């Protein structure tokens, strides 16, 4: 029997085991069996990665590289990602249970994120200021913010890495990328492409490990200048507390309980597809999952029947098979959380119309589930379950729909289905969410900013302005007079 693959850390341009020899096993969610092992970073390894990143900032190989040359490295990385997308996808699917059809295509698509920032690399500009003092030439320049700690979860690793690594490298920063200790194999494999692309030593290190030995030492490290974190609110609170130790500029992209509002004039076929995409895409393991379906009372029964019919034909199975539409969840803990949440919702008056239980087979399989809620207090409308569970709640008026949509501490994604363009503009302007999709859902682009309001975090990833978040503004004053500087003790 062949030995299990083993993934090492990538620190300062070298492949290495953790200094304390700790390793962890990674489980295949489709089988419930360990399939690989990976090295875990210790606090000493974290320090080594950060020290290398700090050194790289002053290394002429990176410091003196022109922005255009940095852009060319990012173009090279994008090409390598596309070339290796099938392999990266297969590793991610085996490690996390996400569908191969999604992981491979997503890996290929994130190449466009690196190309987008490659093109922006030599367009980071300062400005000449029309200063109010004579004989002064004053201008600004934007310089790399420094060492970046980029922390990504397991559920959309290639995408969430690209939104951090792309602008950081284009701006000239160095990066320590911390992969989740749950399903980190694709990130450790991705490090091989970073190495192959030709980035100088120390510019990018890729590590993983638990909170105590890896995440906490990284986010508290005095030489970390910026933290870009994607994950859950509870972990984010620790990250923010840790950043008080180094005053690192911090952005947070957190979870959500995103609403999808379906008005009575909506195209019901499109709305049904939007709700299915919003809830069952990535097997429900998405921070923007539209898990609160708010449906006008007059169409609720019709829409629910359409969704139910579509759910009957959904294929749940091996994520490596091309016909599979919903795969296993990444961890067994997700299954247990869903079961507890569903039980609480039913006890409160909700009705399970479809599914509602784990599947009796090896692996972490949960049946796609449709819940009809009696009121807004249903537990499934409040808890982020990270699984294929859709909840529907009726409303009667536009004002009620907006109030229900905004009745959450989160604010990441939102959706509206309506044929009334005026209503689409009116309602989208009032939703407290960082993203609003109209008559579609889960669309992303390197050109479009991504981020949330409220407890869904702060800061934005992707888009034109994101690259500025990885720079600092320096103001330069040059005295152009041919006379000596005036005596500072003589006031005029």
**Which residues belong to the active site?**
253
Tell me which residue has tokens 């600004």. Answer: 140
Please state, as a whole number, how many other Cβ atoms lie within 10 Å of the Cβ of residue 95.
28
> Helix 85-96 crosses helix 100-109 at what angle (to 10 degrees)?
130
CA dihedral 9, 14, 15, 21 (to 10 degrees): -70
Tokens, residue 63: 């410091």
Q: DSSP readout, 171-186?
A: HT-EEEEEE-SSS-HH
3-state class of 292 per DSSP?
strand
> Which residues are CB-neighbours of 215 under 8 A, at least 6 positions away?
151, 178, 209, 235, 239
* Strands 226-230, 147-151: pairing kind: parallel
Residue 26's Cβ-count burial label (10 Å; 0-12, 13-18, 19+) is buried
Quote the CA–CA distance of 412 and 376 in Å, as a whole number: 19
> What are the DSSP E strand ranges found in 241-350?
249-253, 259-262, 292-296
CA 213 vs CA 8, 9, 203: distances in Å: 16, 14, 22
Structure tokens at 283: 């097997």
Q: Which residues contact 72 (CB under 8 A, 6 or more apart)?
A: 118
Instruction: From residue 258, give the alpha-carbon distance in Å to each of 80, 159, 192, 230, 482.
Output: 34, 20, 36, 17, 63
386 contacts: CB under 8 Å, gap ≥ 6 = 155, 284, 285, 289, 329, 334, 337
CB 181 within 8 A of CB 259: no
d(CA 52, CA 207): 13
Tokens, residue 387: 């699984």
Give me the phi and psi of 102, to 5 degrees please: -85, -45
- CB neighbourhood size of 292 (10 A): 30
The helix/strand/coil state of 375 is coil
Count helices and strands (H / E) in the chain: 15, 21
């Amino acid at each position: 029997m062949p030995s299990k693959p083993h993934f090492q850390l990538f620190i300062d341009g070298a492949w290495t085991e953790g200094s304390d020899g700790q390793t962890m096993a990674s489980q295949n969610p489709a089988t419930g069996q360990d399939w690989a092992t990976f090295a875990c970073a210790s606090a000493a390894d974290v320090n080594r990665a950060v020290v290398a990143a700090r050194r790289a900032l002053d290394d002429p190989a990176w410091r003196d590289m022109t922005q255009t040359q940095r852009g060319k490295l990012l173009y090279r990385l994008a090409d390598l990602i596309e070339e290796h997308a099938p392999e990266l996808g297969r590793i991610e699917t085996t490690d996390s249970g996400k569908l191969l059809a999604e992981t491979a295509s997503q890996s290929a698509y994130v190449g466009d994120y690196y190309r987008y920032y490659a093109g922006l690399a030599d367009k980071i500009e300062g400005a000449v200021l029309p200063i109010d003092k004579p004989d002064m030439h004053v201008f600004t320049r934007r310089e790399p913010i420094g060492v970046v700690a980029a922390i990504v979860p397991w559920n959309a690793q290639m995408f969430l890495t690209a939104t951090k690594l792309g602008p950081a490298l284009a701006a000239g920063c160095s990066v320590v990328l911390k992969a989740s200790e749950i399903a980190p194999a694709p990130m450790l494999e991705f490090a091989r492409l970073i190495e192959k692309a030709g980035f100088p030593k120390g510019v990018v290190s890729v590590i993983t490990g638990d909170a105590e030995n890896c995440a906490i030492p990284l986010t508290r490290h005095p030489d970390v200048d910026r933290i870009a974190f994607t994950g859950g609110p509870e972990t984010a609170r620790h990250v923010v507390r840790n950043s008080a130790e180094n005053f690192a500029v911090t952005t947070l992209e957190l979870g959500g309980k995103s609403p999808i509002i379906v008005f009575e004039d909506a195209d019901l076929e499109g709305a049904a597809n939007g709700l299915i995409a919003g809830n069952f895409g990535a097997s429900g393991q998405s921070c923007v999952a539209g898990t609160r379906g708010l449906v006008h009372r007059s169409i609720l029964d019709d829409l629910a029947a359409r969704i139910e019919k579509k759910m009957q034909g959904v294929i749940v199975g091996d994520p490596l098979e091309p016909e599979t539409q919903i795969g296993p969840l990444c961890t067994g803990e997700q299954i247990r959380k869903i079961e507890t949440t569903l039980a609480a919702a039913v006890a409160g008056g909700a009705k399970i119309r479809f599914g509602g239980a784990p599947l009796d087979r090896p692996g972490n399989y949960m049946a796609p589930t449709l819940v009809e809620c009696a009121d807004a207090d249903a537990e499934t409308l409040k808890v982020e379950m990270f699984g294929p569970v859709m909840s529907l709640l009726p409303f009667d008026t536009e004002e009620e729909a907006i109030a229900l949509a905004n009745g959450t501490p989160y604010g990441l994604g939102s959706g509206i289905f309506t044929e009334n363009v005026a209503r689409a503009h009116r309602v989208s302007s009032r939703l407290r969410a960082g993203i609003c999709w109209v008559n579609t859902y889960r669309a992303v682009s390197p050109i479009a900013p991504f981020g949330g309001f409220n407890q869904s975090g702060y800061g934005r990833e992707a888009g034109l302005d994101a690259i500025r978040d990885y720079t600092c503004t320096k103001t330069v004053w040059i005295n152009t007079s041919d006379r000596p500087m005036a005596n500072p003790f003589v006031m005029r």
